[in-house]
Each structure stands twice: as structure tokens, then as C-alpha cells.
Amino acid sequence: MRALAYIERIEVHCRGFATFPERGTQRNDLLPELRLIGFERRVTLAFHVGPDTVTFDRILYGGRDLGAVFDDEGK
């Protein structure tokens, strides 16, 4: 139940991007137009903002080495 509640909080947070999609830090060094934002100090959301959509590329444990995660995708 605790894990399910945590996932639901992540989903609610993600739905909030419909109102203000261009939040977070842009990380072009990892992938073009990639943005990152933390959630509750444990999760990192990696996403792209399009004209009418927000695409979540990854939902990662906050301690991950992002360079290693996106290295294969960016090259």
C-alpha cells in the first residue's frame, strides 16, 4: 500500500505538468531539450516538452548517475 501511494503521488505530480510544463532544469548536455526535476528527494523525472505534450522519458531513482543513464541515448 505504501508503494502504491508513492506511485500515485508521482502520477499526480506528473499531471501537474499540464499547467506549467517548462519547469525543471534543462540538461542539453545529456540530450537535446531534456529537462530534469526532482520529486520528494528520491526520484528524478526526465522529460521533454513539445508544443502540445510533455513526454516523460525516464523516472529514475534520484541517486543515479545521469550521465551514464543517458550516454547510450545521446550518442
CB 40 within 8 A of CB 27: no
| Res 5: pLDDT | 95
On whether the CB atoms of residues 60 and 46 are closer than 8 A, the answer is yes
**pLDDT, tens digit, for every residue of 11-42?**
999 999 999 999 999 999 999 999 999 999 89
Fold classified for 2-74: YaeB-like fold (3.30.2310)
- Mean of per-residue pLDDT scores for the chain: 90
For the cut 60, the answer to whether the pLDDT of residue 74 exceeds it is: no
Domains in the chain: boundaries: 2-74
CB-CB contact of 24 with 16 (8 Å): no
Q: What is the pLDDT of residues 52-73, one digit of tens each?
A: 999 999 999 888 888 888 886 6
